């Protein structure tokens, strides 16, 4: 039963992801991205990592997409034009990402069977994060702080 749901939501997230990339209407694309994130959260649920699934929905579905939509709705899309060269660069990047993920998929197909998710609750994530991996965790928070300060500095530039 779980497997049925797993494949259902996996396919659903792929379909939503495709719609998000190909959609001409950018707000619809944003909504499709929301669908993609929520069904990805459901995929986490089906493999037993419920905390991760919920966090996925809260962080990406709750805050980030609202922010995206908020910004997208205020933008003026009449001034945007299609740029073939940039599109080509993006396409090459996409192809590289696809091959890498395929390689990863093929390489890890043997491992995947033996891996059992042991992180269902909040404690299973929090305990390693705050004891075993405290230094990387703090380093990441400093990195985020730098990014925030940088964003504020760029956003407030007066000309």
Contacting residues toward another protein, per CB under 8 A = 25, 27-28, 31, 34, 38, 41, 50-51, 54-55, 57-58, 61-63, 65-67, 69-70, 73-74, 120-122
Measure the CA–CA gap between 31 and 66, rounded to whole angstroms: 10
Residue 123 C-beta: closest distance to another protein, Å: 9
Token duo for residue 63: 């805050």
Measure the CA–CA gap between 13 and 30, rounded to whole angstroms: 13
Q: Which residue, 94 or 121, is less far from another protein as judged by CB?
A: 121
The angle at the Cα of 55, spanning 50 to 59, to the nearest 5 degrees, equals 160
Residue 18 C-beta: closest distance to another protein, Å: 16
Q: Which residue, 94 or 128, is less far from another protein as judged by CB?
A: 128
Q: Which residue, 73 or 97, is less far from another protein as judged by CB?
A: 73
Residue 107 C-beta: closest distance to another protein, Å: 32
Q: Which residue, 102 or 122, is less far from another protein as judged by CB?
A: 122
Residue 121 C-beta: closest distance to another protein, Å: 5
Token duo for residue 119: 């992180």
H helix intervals, the chain: 2-22, 26-46, 50-56, 65-74, 84-112, 122-127, 134-155
Maximal C-alpha separation, the chain: 60
């Amino acid at each position: 039963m779980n497997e049925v749901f797993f494949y259902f939501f996996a396919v659903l997230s792929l379909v939503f992801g495709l719609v998000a990339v190909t959609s001409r209407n950018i707000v619809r694309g944003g909504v499709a991205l929301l669908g993609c994130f929520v069904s990805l959260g459901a995929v986490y649920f089906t493999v037993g990592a419920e905390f991760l699934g919920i966090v996925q929905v809260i962080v990406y579905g709750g805050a980030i997409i609202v922010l995206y939509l908020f910004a997208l709705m205020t933008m003026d899309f009449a001034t945007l034009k299609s740029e073939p060269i940039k599109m080509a660069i993006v396409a090459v990047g996409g192809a590289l990402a696809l091959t890498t993920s395929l390689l990863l998929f093929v390489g890890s197909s043997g491992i995947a069977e033996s891996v059992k998710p042991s992180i269902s609750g909040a404690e299973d994530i929090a305990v390693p994060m705050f004891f075993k991996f405290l230094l990387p965790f703090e380093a990441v928070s400093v990195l985020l702080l730098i990014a925030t300060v940088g964003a504020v500095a760029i956003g407030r530039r007066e000309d």
